[in-house]
Amino acid sequence: MGKIIVEMKDVTKCFGNVVALRGVNLEIYEGITGLIGPNGAGKTTTIGIILGLLRRDSGYLSVYGVDPWIKGQEVRTKIGFLDEKPVFPGNMTGRRFLRCVARIYGVNEESVNEVLKIVGLSRHADRSISTYSAGMIQRLGLAQALLGDKEFIILDEPTSNLDPIARIRILELIKSLRKSSGLSFLISTHILTELERVCDNIIVMYGGKVLGACTLDEIYNKINYESYILEFSTLEESKKVYSRVIEAGDADIDGRFVYINQRIWNKIREDIFQFISENGIKMLSLKPRYNAIEEYYKSLIGDTIEI
Amino acid sequence: MELEKNFSIYLVEFIFLLMVYVVASSTLNFHLSYSITSSMHLPYEEAIKGFSLFLAYYLSRNAISAFEFNVLIIVVVVSLSFADEISRGYMRVLLSYPLSRKTIFCVKTFLIIIVPYLVYLTSATLLPLVYTSLSWNLFFAETIAKLSLIFLFEIFFVSSITILLALLTRSTSFTVLFSLVILFTLRYSGYIIGSEYVNYLPPFCFNILADYLIGIKFLQVNVYKVTAIYSILSAFPAILSYLYFTRRFDACRR
C-alpha cells in the first residue's frame, strides 16, 4: 500500500434526524480506491466531508495531514472532484469554463489544452456547454477535476449517466491517468463490475458505516470460487485443456466449458495459453464466472438490503 | 465566471428597460407630489403643457416603486445565483475549488448588488438628457440623489433577505415564494396595521435615511433614532447569511 491520503476515525454526520454517517473509520491510500454501497450508504456524505463541503459532527479526519473543514483551500488544491451529475454554466463554452477554472488554480492556457486533449474534448471545446451530451459533460467534469497540480481525484458515480461505450472510455482514461501521471482516485459507484477493471482497493459502506475495506488481491483470496470459464469450440479441445489444468489443481468440465479456480488460473495462465497455441486449440471465450467485488459485496452486506 | 454565468446580456437588457421606466416614473412621482405638498412654488405646470403634462402625470401615477422593482429583480437574480446553484449542484462544484467560502459569498453578493445598481445609475444618468430634450425642466439632482441612495439600501436589504432564504430553503421556488411574501408583507404592513411605527420599518426607513443623508431633516429627532435602529437591524439578515454560509452551510446535503 502506498502513502495514506485520507484517514477517518469515528466520523459521524447527521442531517436533522437522519444519521448519514455512524462512526466511519476508513483509510484511503494512493492508488485507485472504489467506494461501494447501496443508496443512502453514506458515500456522497463521506466524499463531501473529505472535500470540506460538509462539516462533520464528531470524529477525526485528516486529508493530506490537515483537516479539510479548517484548511479546505489547502486540501482542495490537491484534490479534483467530479460530481455525480455535474452542472456547468450552459452559456459558456467548454474552453472558456476551463480557462476560468484554470485561473482559480493559477495554471496557464496550455494546461487547459492539455486536459482537453486528455479527455478527448479538444474538437468540441469551443461549443457551448448547453449543447454537450451527457458523456461530454462527464468528460468536461473530468477535465476540470484534472486541472492544476492535482494528486487525488474524487469521482462520484462517474459513469452513472453514460452509455456502455462512454463508460469504458472513462474507465480506460482513469486507468491510463493512474499509469501515466501517478494520480490517485476515489471512485464511488453502484456498478461493481466496473471497479474490478480499475481498482486496487475497495471500501464497502452500508447504513452509514464501513463494512469492509481491503485490496483487490485480498478479495480474490477471500472469495474462493471457480472464477473463470473457458469456452472451446469442441468437446475434444475442452477435454485436452481440462486434462492439462487438472495437473495443476482443482478444475471442472461441463461440455465445451472448463471452469478454473481463480488462484490456479493466475498460476498456470501463461502455460495454458502456450498449450492452446501449440495444439491449435480454438478458445471461443474467457470470462469470469462471478464478479469478485460483487461476491465480496454480497458476502458483507448479505441479505440486509431491503428490495 | 460568476458574472458571465448569472448576468446574461438578455437579463441585463431586461433590467435596464425596466429600470428606465422605474427611474423616469419615480422621479416624476417624487417631483410632482413634492411640488404639490411643499410650500415652495414649483412652476412645473408652466413648464409642461398638453400631451407632455398628460404623459408626466400618467408616468407619475403609474410609477412602479423602487422597492417593488428591486424585489422582483433581486429575487430573480438571487434565485439564479444562490438557490438554483444549490438545488442543481453547481454550488457543490464551486465549493470544491480552492476558494474560500468568504470569497465565494462576497463575490456573489457584490455582483447581486452592483450589477442592478450600475444599471440603475446608467438609466438615472440618461434621464436628464431626456428631460432636457423635452424642455420639461423637471429634473432635480436632489430627487435622483435620493433615489440613488434608496435603491442602494433597498437592493442590499432585499438581497440579504433573499440570500438567507435561498441558503435555508435550498429551493428556487421556495426562495421566490417566501421572499415575495415576506418583502411585500413588510411593504404593505403599514397599510394593514396602521401603526405609526410600522412606517419606520424597512423599506420605509430607507426613505427617511436617504432624506437625512442628503440633508432633508424635517422630522422629529425621535423618528431618526427609530429609523437608525431599524436600518441597523435591516443589515442583520446579511450578517446572518454570511455567518451561516461560511461556518455552517452543508454543500451536499440531500
Which segments within chain A are labelled E, that is strand?
4-15, 18-29, 32-36, 58-63, 79-82, 152-156, 184-189, 201-206, 209-215, 226-232, 251-254, 257-261, 283-288
Cβ neighbors of B38 (< 8 A, separation 6 or more) are none
pLDDT of residue B215: 75
A146: nearest CA partner in chain B: B97
Q: With 60 as the cut, is the pLDDT of residue A201 above it?
A: yes
Q: With 60 as the cut, is the pLDDT of residue A226 above it?
A: no
**Chain A contact present for B254, CB below 8 A:** yes
Per residue in A211-220, pLDDT tens?
888 888 787 7
Per residue in B142-190, pLDDT tens?
777 777 888 888 889 999 999 999 999 999 999 999 999 988 888 777 6
Residue from A305, A288, A301 nearest A220 by CA: A288
Per residue in B28-41, pLDDT tens?
666 655 554 444 44
Cβ neighbors of B119 (< 8 A, separation 6 or more) are B12, B15, B16, B19
Q: With 80 as the cut, is the pLDDT of residue B141 above it?
A: no
pLDDT of residue B41: 45
**Chain B contact present for A101, CB below 8 A:** yes
> Taking CB atoms and an 8 Å limit, are B98 and A74 in contact across chains?
yes
Conformation bin of residue A65: beta by default, left when phi > 0, alpha when psi is -120 to 50: left
> pLDDT > 90: what percent of chain B?
19
Residue from A51, A93, A152, A7 nearest B97 by CA: A51
Chain B residues near residue A92 by CB distance under 8 angstroms: 1, 4-5
Pairing status of strand A251-254 against strand A79-82: unpaired
Cα distances (Å, whole numbers) of residue B152 to B113, B116, B141: 8, 9, 17
pLDDT of residue B31: 60
pLDDT of residue A155: 92
C-alpha cell at B158: 432585499
Q: What band does B108 get if pLDDT is binned at 50, 70 and 90?
A: very high
Q: With 50 as the cut, is the pLDDT of residue B42 above it?
A: no
Select from B5, B96, B250 the Cβ nearest to the Cβ of A89.
Answer: B5
pLDDT of residue B36: 46
**Chain B contact present for A3, CB below 8 A:** no
Most confidently modeled range among A24-38, A266-280, B114-128, B227-241: A24-38
Residue with the bigger pLDDT between A233 and B56: it is A233
- Radius of gyration of chain B from Cα atoms? 20
Q: What kind and span of H or E run contains A172?
A: helix A164-181
**Chain B contact present for A70, CB below 8 A:** no
C-alpha cell at A250: 482443482
Per residue in B69-98, pLDDT tens?
778 888 988 888 899 999 888 899 999 999
> Taking CB atoms and an 8 Å limit, are B97 and A101 in contact across chains?
yes
The arrangement of strands across the sheet holding A257-261 comes to A251-254, A257-261, A226-232, A283-288
Chain A residues near residue B4 by CB distance under 8 angstroms: 89, 91-92, 96, 100
Select from A51, A73, A92 the Cβ nearest to the Cβ of B100.
Answer: A73
Select from B1, B89, B248 the Cβ nearest to the Cβ of A83.
Answer: B89
Chain A residues near residue B85 by CB distance under 8 angstroms: 87
**Chain B contact present for A72, CB below 8 A:** yes
pLDDT of residue B38: 46
pLDDT of residue B149: 86
Chain A residues near residue B252 by CB distance under 8 angstroms: 44-45, 47-48, 53-54
Q: What band does A8 get if pLDDT is binned at 50, 70 and 90?
A: very high
CA of A54, closest CA in chain B: separation in Å?
5
At residue B153, what is the residue type? F
Please, what's the largest Cα pairwise distance for chain A?
Answer: 67
Pairing status of strand A251-254 against strand A58-63: unpaired
Chain A residues near residue B5 by CB distance under 8 angstroms: 89, 91-92
Q: What is the mean pLDDT of chain A?
A: 86
Lowest mean pLDDT among A2-6, A156-160, B41-45, B49-53: B41-45
CA of A81, closest CA in chain B: separation in Å?
7
Answer positive or negative: Cα dihedral of A209, A210, A212, A216: positive
**Chain A contact present for B5, CB below 8 A:** yes
Select from B5, B8, B96 the Cβ nearest to the Cβ of A53.
Answer: B96
Q: With 50 as the cut, is the pLDDT of residue A127 above it?
A: yes
pTM: 0.77
Residue with the bigger pLDDT between B132 and B225: it is B225
